[in-house]
């Protein structure tokens, strides 16, 4: 019985360590392109900073650089928004080892895109 409890506790700790590694992997600069609902492609770069379950950083596009607002991360899922010229753009994403899949809401229309770690 004690062995089962110890094994379960050990596996739980290993899982938490692995999840912390996923969080650490999101830190840094990521680049990609968003295809807007009207078909235009916009090059973007995100710089993410993870602190526990809080996600901060910046987003850069041809429109300029804006801060990431309301960023949250749970497991490999994350959410944040950016405000460009007074318009909020909510983002929902999933982190992978070498990329992030992100959905952005353009006020009723959404776009799915992928960013990869910048070299």
Q: How far apart are the first and last CA of the chain?
A: 50
The CA–CA distances, whole Å, from 115 to 4, 7, 14, 15, 96 equal: 42, 38, 28, 26, 10
Exposed / middle / buried, residue 78 (Cβ in 10 Å: 0-12, 13-18, 19+): buried
Work out whether strand 64-74 and strand 54-61 pair parallel, antiparallel, or are unpaired: antiparallel
- What was the pLDDT predicted at 119? 78
Beta pairing partners, 82: 68, 89
For 61-89, how does the pLDDT look when each residue is reduced to its tens digit (9 = 90+)? 998 999 999 999 999 999 999 999 999 99
The rounded distance, in Å, linking the Cα atoms of 100 and 110 is 16
For 22-44, how does the pLDDT look when each residue is reduced to its tens digit (9 = 90+)? 444 899 999 999 998 888 999 99
């Amino acid at each position: 019985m004690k062995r089962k409890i110890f094994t379960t506790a050990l596996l739980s700790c290993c899982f938490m360590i692995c999840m912390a590694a996923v969080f650490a992997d999101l830190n840094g600069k990521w680049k990609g392109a968003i295809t807007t609902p009207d078909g235009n492609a916009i090059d973007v770069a995100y710089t993410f900073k993870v602190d526990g379950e809080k996600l901060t950083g910046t987003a850069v596009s041809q429109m300029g650089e804006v801060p990431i607002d309301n960023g949250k991360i749970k497991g490999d899922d994350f959410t944040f928004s950016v405000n460009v010229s007074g318009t909020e753009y909510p983002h929902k994403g999933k982190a992978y080892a070498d990329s992030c899949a992100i959905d952005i809401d353009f006020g009723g229309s959404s776009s799915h895109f992928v960013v990869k770690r910048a070299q």
